[in-house]
Amino acid sequence: MTKIAVIDDWQGIARKSADWGPLSIRADVTFFEDALAGEDAVARRLRDFDIVMTMRERTPFPASLIAKLPNLRMLSITGARNRSVDMEALKGRGVAVSFTQAGEDGEATAELALCLMLSAARRVPAGDAKIRAGGFQQGIAPGFTLRGKTLGLIGLGRLGTLVASYAKALGMTIIAWSPNLTAERAAAAGVEFAEKDDLLKRADVISIHMVLAPETDGIIGARDFALMKTGAVIVNTSRGPLIDEAALLAALAQGKIVAALDVYSQEPLPEDHPLRTSPNTVLSPHLGYCVRENFKVFYEQSIDNVMAFLDGGSMPSATVQRPKISLT
């Protein structure tokens, strides 16, 4: 019988998000809720499986890992792209790849960015921790209102534009920069274009909405933190490596900035990672896209794709080179 691994189901949500009955009749489906550290551990777990159903970019699939999975015939990806998968290596092996849509249009991540801004500005995590420890307001520094403050957006694509619309409702002044953004495009979104250095100097809150690529890796570094206002809040709901982590930790230790983070250079965040004990932080465990609407679409469409693959027909979502041998 075909062996299917559903991996990185960290919240144990996969079974509840779709009807697995029809697929379970035709295949041996195993769910894995834990995360593995290291490529060899992943290879040992997955080497006997024919189909692997992934969740976003939680487990990278470089060529070196793909080479260690001799039985792999199909990789199911949730979302429209996954930059942590070596597509050429899969194509060279003749492994089929499927994708899915999302259940919403970016609102989940944009809303979380707003949530992190408000939590950082009003010291909500510190207040929550104080109450749970038996205290009340003692030692909680006063926060600040967002109305009248300046929001600097690093990136003004779909998500950045959504965040801008929320910030407008709060009465914030909004400026934006990205390597390819023009003043005309910013104006069309109702936002003021600012050069990067100017944005960093002026913004009370900075929110990053960039795609991670070689040219954007570390786009916020030590020089950028030095330009920011003391006490400025930086929000990252995009990808961890967009911020130079060493520079971030130094700025936090110095009390230069407050960081509200949903993404990290290594996920899950290691238990001994210094961010866990860093001052001036609001941390969430990559919850940006983790809403019921997305999981429902991810798993329903993934099951449809796998069923179509087993039937030897065209999968509903995009694929790369399909093997000639089916697994039925």
We report the CATH number of the domain holding residue 62 as: 3.40.50.720
Strands of 51-53's sheet in order across: 27-31, 2-6, 51-53, 74-76, 96-98
pLDDT of 301 strictly over 60: yes
Q: Tell me whether residue 325 is in a domain.
A: no
| Total domains in the fold of the chain | 2
Q: What is the pLDDT of residue 319?
A: 65
pLDDT per residue as tens digits for the range 72-129: 999 999 998 898 999 999 999 999 999 999 888 899 999 999 999 999 999 999 999 9
Length, in residues, of the chain: 328
Section 155-167 average pLDDT: 97
198 and 77 within one domain: no
Alpha carbon distance 215, 194 (integer Å): 20
Instruction: Render pLDDT for 261-297 as a digit per residue (tens, 0 to 9).
Output: 999 999 999 999 999 999 999 999 999 999 999 999 9
234 with 157, same domain? yes
State yes or no: pLDDT of 132 exceeds 60. yes
122 in the same domain as 264: yes
Q: What was the pLDDT predicted at 324?
A: 38
My answer on whether 131 and 269 are in the same domain is yes
Domain that holds residue 245: 107-283
Average pLDDT, the chain: 94
Instruction: Judge whether 316 lies within some domain.
Output: no
Please check whether residues 88 and 124 belong to one and the same domain: no
Q: Are 74 and 49 in contact (CB under 8 A)?
A: no
User: Do 122 and 271 lie in a common domain?
Assistant: yes
pLDDT in tens, 171-193: 999 999 999 999 999 999 999 99
Helix/strand/coil for 50: coil
Residue 203 lies in a domain: yes
Strand partners, 146: none
The alpha carbon of residue 70 and the mean position of all alpha carbons in its chain are separated, in whole angstroms, by 29
Query: Are both 118 and 244 inside the same structural domain?
Result: yes
Residues marked active site are found at: 239, 267, 286
82 shares its domain with 141: no
Inter-residue contact 180 to 156 (CB < 8 Å): no
Q: Are 73 and 199 in a shared domain? A: no
Whether 196 and 277 map to the same domain: the answer is yes
Residue 326 within a domain: no
In three-state secondary structure terms, 227 is helix
112 lies in the same domain as 70: no
Q: How many C-beta atoms surround the C-beta of residue 63 within 10 A?
A: 13
**Same domain, residue pair 90 and 139:** no
Q: HSE on the CB side for 226, CA within 13 Å?
A: 4
pTM score: 0.92
Q: Cα–Cα distance between 61 and 42 in angstroms, integer?
A: 10
Cα separation, 174 vs 155, whole angstroms? 12
